[in-house]
Amino acid sequence: MESIFRGIGVSPGIAIGPAALLGGDRFDIPKYKVADVEEELARFECALRKTRDYLKKIHAKTVERLGIGHADIFTAHLLVLEDVTLLEEVRSRISAESLNVEFILDELSQRYTDLLGAVEDSLFQARTSDLLDVMNRLQRNLLDAERTHVREMAEPSILMAHDLSPSDTVMLDRTMVLGMSLDSGSPTSHTAILARALEIPAVMGLRHAACHINNGTSIIIDGNEGLFIAEPTADTLDAYRQKQRQLEETRVALRGIMSHGSSATRDGVSIPTQANVELPFELVPELRDTAEGVGLFRTEYLFLNRDTLPSEEEQYQAYAQAAETMDPLPVTLRTMDIGGDKFVSHLQISKEENPQLGWRAVRFCLERKDIFKPQLRAMLRASNKGKIQIMFPMISGVEELRQVKAVLSEVKKDLDGEGISYDPDIKVGSMIEVPSAVALADVLSQECDFFSIGTNDLIQYSLAVDRVNEKVAHLYEPAHPAVLRMIKWTCNAAWASGIPCSLCGEMAGNPLYTETLIGMGVTSLSMSAVSLPLVRAEIAEINFGEAQELAARLLQMGTAAEIKTLIEERYEKRGSAEAFISHAVQREKDAPSPLEY
Ligand code: PEP
Ligand code: MG
């Protein structure tokens, strides 16, 4: 029977396919005496072989998709499978105790888990967690666990899970994952941001929908409306297939039209639209056609899913490639924002009670200059290859900005001493995403070259709503009057100091807010590449003066409900995507020269 669940649409599009339930990391482990020890030993060898084959496959795939550095983790896992002492212990216990292999592996895992908690040595910890990962994989192969693992889906499916970490999301294969549904999560979690980067339609915050679903159940994901439909009727399926075709046609039409010129309002005010980049595959030459630069390069993704830090050289290659690909357009490299929901196991950041308020971003970098300085060196060196800008995340006050700038000066001096060149006029910006930075925006604006408002965090910190917690997702309100005022104050401070003020939070990619943000004084918008066409279409239909009037009206309002009513009304009246396509087609007929926006 058809059932419809309402969640939060976090990545647009429609996906239709069978459910693939993603397993947790624990299974029920049986314990029993085996009748035939030889047979049990053979089962163990078979599971070892399957695990080895799988790891080799995933190693090769990771090298292909993310580069050799990211594949180290699987090399380490393969080495665990060569560990003679470990394998011999399992084999001899099977022979001596006639117990099933799963039970023996489980006991061993328990022993290592206990050790993991007791020893502080980082090398030992890394090795132990590799070992536990491999044990888990072996168990899976032995138990033929019904639930799928994120990296081994057998057919194109709708991935369903309770939760998924950003590092697991990075590994998703877009040809296999048609759509995604999570019990947890919210639109500004990094998992959601990645789903958009991968262009996988996704619904999150579904609470317990997965409990009602079996592997293979027919599913529709409506990422626009936040709907999850199980066992749809033939009529529903038809309607959604049609909707899917229409969305695809609009997407193709918009993409085609967008690949010309720069973005400006109807009355000619230039509002550059740029891309947020997380993964290397996003940095393709075609990005230059739709994006007027990279407004946010989340460099921390270079540090995820690996056992070792990326070297300065490896980082240099990544940044230089970005600069060259986008040249002459700017690429804004944000120094690593590790911490929060982006946990990097090998950096020994211990789990925190309040990770969003914890050892994150520049707080981490200022204490780990051994990691920070090579990153800054790599960024400066890459500035020879195109137009690089450097941006610091989570700046909470002037001292912090001065401290990170002082480290940058030290690194520049080192490079000067070594005769290594870099762009001497490189621009340095501050993210405005902590409320204290808004309050100090007038001072900060005098000490940097640009601002970029990070609304994902600014909303979380000013409304005290955890951005990854689905239980409070309904309280996470971009249209909150306090949020709009903070955006306005930041823009005013930037304007007074004569510096540009970009906005690179997820609000930038929602065309509903485009007019509001432009009216407040945001000078450029940076978003997931998938959102660029719609936002550009919206900008082209907006009148700058009217947007300013709208902003003034909104700033008088006391509730998000009033604000939303007004902006939704105006948005719907404009119907920009359709209007843009028909205007563009008309203009193309009138003037056969390339369109300029
Ligand atoms: C933000 O906070 O708005 C932002 C762009 O940074 P991130 O989402 O990576 O925290
Ligand atoms: Mg942020």
pLDDT value at residue 593: 35
Instruction: Tell me: pLDDT of 535 over 60.
Output: yes
The catalytically annotated residue of 59, 70, 77, 190 is: 190
For residue 470, give Cα distances in angstroms to 25, 189, 204, 509.
21, 10, 8, 21
- Is residue 339 scored above 90 in pLDDT? no
List the single range of 8-12, 397-401, 440-444 with lowest mean pLDDT: 8-12
Task: Kindly report, residue by residue over 102-111, the tens digit of the pLDDT.
Answer: 889 888 888 8
Neighbours of 489 (CB within 10 A): 16
Q: What is the rounded CA–CA span in Å between residue 409 and residue 545?
A: 41
Evaluate: CB of 292 within 6 angstroms of ligand 1: no
Instruction: Output the pLDDT for position 580.
Output: 59
- Residue 557 CB neighbour total at 10 angstroms: 16
460 lines ligand 1 (CB under 6 A): no
pLDDT band, very low/low/confident/very high, at 585 (cuts 50, 70, 90): very low
What is residue 12's DSSP assignment?
Answer: -
Q: Tell which wins on pLDDT, 561 or 26.
A: 561
Write down the pLDDT at residue 578. Answer: 64
Find which of 14-23, 101-110, 314-323 is predicted with most confidence, using mean pLDDT: 314-323
Mean pLDDT of 576-595: 49
pLDDT tens digits along 92-147: 999 999 998 988 988 888 887 777 667 766 667 667 767 777 887 788 777 755 44
Flag whether pLDDT at 430 surpasses 50: yes
Residue 540 φ/ψ, nearest 5 degrees: -65, -20
pLDDT band at 592 (very low <50, low <70, confident <90, very high): very low
Rounded Cα gap, residues 188 and 181, in angstroms: 15
Is the distance from the beta carbon of residue 454 to the nearest atom of ligand 1 less than 6 Å? yes
Q: Decide: 457 in ligand 1 pocket, CB within 6 A.
A: yes
Locate the ligand 1 atom nearest the alpha carbon of residue 300 and give its number: 9
Of the pLDDT bands very low, low, confident and very high (cuts 50, 70, 90), residue 337 is: very high
H/E element, 158? strand 157-161
For 237-297, the DSSP string reads HHHHHHHHHHHHHHHHHHHHHHSSS--B-TT--B--EEEEE-SGGG--TTHHHH-SSEEEE
Q: Where are the alpha helices (DSSP H) in 144-233?
A: 166-170, 190-197
Query: For 546-560, what is each residue's pLDDT tens digit?
Result: 999 999 999 999 999
% of the chain beyond a pLDDT of 70: 88
How far is residue 11's CA from residue 24's CA, in Å, rounded to a whole number? Answer: 23
Q: Kindly state the DSSP code that residue 5 receives in the 8-state scheme.
A: E
254 or 372: which leads in pLDDT: 372
- The full set of domains in the chain, from first to last, is 3-24+148-233 (3.50.30.10), 37-143 (1.10.274.10), 265-590 (3.20.20.60)
Residue 255's identity, in one-letter code, is R
> Average of pLDDT values for 25-36?
73
Whether the bond between 355 and the residue before it is cis, its omega within 30 degrees of 0, is: no
> Is the confidence at residue 57, as pLDDT, over 90?
no
pLDDT at 25 over 50: no
SS3 189: coil
- The pLDDT assigned to 588 comes to 42
Task: Tell whether the model's pLDDT for residue 1 goes beyond 90.
Answer: no
Is 190 part of the annotated catalytic residue set?
A: yes
Query: Is the CB of 337 within 6 Å of ligand 1?
Result: yes
pLDDT for 268-305, tens place per residue? 999 999 999 988 788 888 888 889 999 999 999 898 87
Q: Ligand 1: does its nearest atom lie under 6 Å from the Cβ of 538?
A: no
- In this structure, are residues 354 and 464 in contact, taking their beta carbons and an 8 Å threshold? no
**pLDDT confidence of residue 451:** 98
Alpha carbon of 285 to ligand 1 centroid (Å)? 24
Q: What is the pLDDT of residue 581?
A: 57
The region of weakest confidence among 74-83, 159-168, 241-250, 464-473 is 159-168
* H-type alpha helices, 291-434: 312-326, 361-367, 369-382, 398-417
Residues 6+ apart with CB under 8 A from 451: 429, 430, 431, 432, 441, 444, 445, 490, 493, 494, 499, 500, 501, 502
Which of 357, 433, 502, 507 most suits a substitution to test ligand 1, by most atoms within 8 Å of the C-beta? 433
Tokens 């007004």 sit on residue: 566
Q: How far is CA 211 from CA 5, 26, 97, 167, in A?
A: 12, 17, 38, 24
Both tokens of 382, joined, read 């890459």
Q: Which residue, judged by its Cα, is nearest atom 7 of ligand 1?
A: 456
List helix spans (H) across 18-152. 37-66, 68-80, 84-97, 101-118, 122-143
What residue type is 504 in one-letter code? C
User: In terms of Cα–Cα distance, which of 5, 161, 8 is closest to 472?
Assistant: 8
151 has pLDDT over 60: no
How far is the centre of ligand 2, averaged over its atoms, from the C-alpha of 456 (Å)? 6
Question: Which ligand 1 atom lies nearest to the CA of residue 452?
Answer: 5
CA–CA gap between residue 416 and residue 400 (Å, rounded): 24
For 381-422, what is each residue's pLDDT tens digit?
999 999 999 999 999 999 999 999 999 999 999 999 999 999
pLDDT at 594: 31
Q: Is the beta carbon of 432 within 6 A of some atom in ligand 1?
A: no
CA of 592 to the centre of ligand 2 (A): 43
Q: What is the identity of the amino acid at 138?
A: L
Question: How high is the mean pLDDT of the chain?
Answer: 87
Per 3-state DSSP, the chain is made up of helix, strand and coil in percentages (nearest 5) of 55, 15, 30
Euclidean distance between CA atoms 277 and 322, whole angstroms: 10
Give 208 Cα–ligand 2 centroid separation in angstroms: 29
Residue 26 has pLDDT above 60, yes or no: no
Alpha-carbon gap, residue 378 to 243, rounded angstroms: 46
The pLDDT value recorded for residue 59 is 82
Closest atom, ligand 1, to C-alpha of 457 = 2
Residue matched to tokens 């489980």: 106
pLDDT tens digits, one per residue of 177-191: 999 999 888 888 888
What pLDDT, on the 0 to 100 scale, is given for residue 295?
98
> Collapsing DSSP states into helix, strand and coil, what is residue 356?
helix
Model pLDDT for residues 197-218, shown as the tens digit of each residue: 888 999 998 876 766 688 889 9
Q: What pLDDT is attached to residue 146?
A: 46
Mean pLDDT of 331-335: 98
**Catalytic residue, candidates 365, 448, 501, 504:** 504
Spatial distance between the Cα atoms of 263 and 36, rounded to a whole number of angstroms: 72
Q: Average pLDDT, stretch 369-391?
A: 97
pLDDT band at 376 (very low <50, low <70, confident <90, very high): very high
pLDDT, mean of residues 228-254: 89
Active site residue 162: no
